[in-house]
Amino acid sequence: MTHGRACAARIRERAEQEGWPLVHIAAQIVACCQVPPLRAWRLAHGMPLEEAAQRLIEICAEAGLRQPKLRKGDLSRYELGRTPVPVWMIDPFCRLYRARPDWLGFGGDYSEIPPGEEPENTQPATPFPPQFPLDKPDHGGHRKSHSLLSIGIGGSDDMRRRELLHQLAVTTGLVLTPSHLVAIEQTRQRLHDTTSGNGIPADILDRLESLIPEYERRFYELAPIPRLGALLTDFDEVTRWLGHRLPVMTQRRLWRVAAHLADLTVDTLSFLGQHREAAAWLATARMAADEAGDRPLATWVRAGQAAQASRQGDHTYALRHAQEAQAFARNPTPGLVFACGLEARAHACLGNEAAARAALDRAKDTLEQVPAHLQRSRLWGYPEHRLHGRISNVMTQLSHTHEARAAMPEVLRHYPRNSSTWIRTKLDQAKCLIHDGDLDAGCAAALRTLLDLSPEYRTPLVLNRAREVLLLLPEKRRNRPAARELRDFLANPK
């Protein structure tokens, strides 16, 4: 909710008393009043729209630039991102507000200065990330379009979106911003907007299909943010080709690639704690798998909806989706085993041990009937060690620590240490210690698991799973030193 000029005036009054610099004042107005940076800087100077528009005209005249036809309404539309700011006007805005372009919302400060080489009086990094306002959703709850105009610098909306996706793929330690989430949603929506075209060369089709085995090979080698950027860039290309007029079988091959990429995007967004976006991509993956006519893949994606509900703690909904996936499957497939395992977890979380064990038995029986070549996929297969992972998780939830521990070695031996399954199993080991009464060892094991991870893998999903360890402690034991150490780390993960 945005505030009025009175709020900005109170911030300026406090700033005058405490001697704040302008950049601090503008940043406070952005944070408190929730307005775009360009408007925040005008408010930081205490300028009405009419005055700012007139002074911009004067600055352009002094600099020998073209004379803008600028009224207060035009300036307001610039500030809200409803009209893109012409490139030649960025410098006049910077002169008017005595600010850098990135402080006004025109891009960001991505400069890198080696430690020890910072010049004197170095200006602070931008506290004003570019803003990308969303359009209102249509009657079906979908967003028809998204606006990236408020970045203000030249180039089409599509070019700016692609640049954000590229930034995800090549930048380490990057935090997802609202701008990135809008670009992610735009990429998903493009699939629904495809309409026409004239075909796809065979070599390009082969290359796009080869993306899937390539991701199977290197999926766990990619850190979450670069992985997300790569997935969305590839999905974007598949979407573009789906907009062409293609033979039915060619379309189905592309829809299958799109479904696989969307499913991996769901997994990555969930790992990053972006559950709302993951749920939207799940719907897209399901639609793409159905369009491809690939029932085994469609079964897998439907089971994925149960997994997503489970991650969000909605175990009743997870149970419903798991049972729906089983009803949808016609033959024994990895997706059917996946669904049975998720049903077992949902029953365990709801306290129904008998039903959980029955679902695990169905998963074991089904796995024996799945053809060997379908089990081998690292991402969409269901080899025996993956079932061990589900058994250990379900038995941990049921507090049957002996059965849980018996299943864990196979999981830890086969899965990469940064994978979601490996991390979950290590935290389940900590939970088993607590179930057995060794509270300090359980907290220490959870903390050690977090410390052993690279920072980019300490995502919200991982931290929430570690918090579950603390919640197992009796209330009166939560102030023990080991518990405090884990809680302090979770409050400020390095």
**How does DSSP assign 306-327, residue by residue?**
HHHHHHTT-HHHHHHHHHHHHH
Q: What span, in angstroms and rounded, lies between the C-alpha atoms of 151 and 129?
A: 9
Q: Specify the pLDDT at position 375.
A: 83
Q: What is the pLDDT of residue 243?
A: 84
- What the block records as the tokens of 291 is 């369009």
Q: What are phi and psi of 379, to 5 degrees?
A: -110, -35
68 and 46 in contact (C-beta within 8 Å)?
A: no
Q: Which two tokens stand for residue 286?
A: 């399901």
Q: CA 185, CA 262: separation in Å to the nearest integer?
A: 12
Beta-carbon contacts of 285 under 8 Å, excluding residues fewer than 6 positions away, are 259, 262, 263, 265, 266, 301, 304
Closest by CA to 253, choosing from 205, 196, 201, 187, is 205
C-beta atoms surrounding 197 within 10 Å: 13
Q: Per-block average pLDDT, block size 10, for the chain (494 residues)?
A: 71 84 85 84 92 90 78 87 80 89 75 51 54 37 37 52 75 68 76 59 91 92 91 92 89 96 96 92 96 96 96 95 96 96 97 97 96 88 94 97 96 92 96 96 96 92 94 91 94 80
Question: Measured between alpha carbons, how far is residue 71 from residues 5, 11, 55, 84 in Å?
Answer: 19, 27, 11, 15
Calculate the CA 352 to chain-centre distance.
33
Q: How far is CA 143 from the centre of its chain?
A: 18
pLDDT recorded at residue 21:
85
Among candidates 473, 471, 348, 334, which has minimal Cα distance to 399? 348
On whether the CB atoms of residues 70 and 57 are closer than 8 A, the answer is: yes
Q: What is the pLDDT of residue 109?
A: 61
Q: How far apart are CA 31 and CA 40, in angstroms?
A: 9
What single letter denotes the amino acid at residue 266?
Answer: V
Using the 8-state DSSP alphabet, how is residue 191 labeled? Answer: G
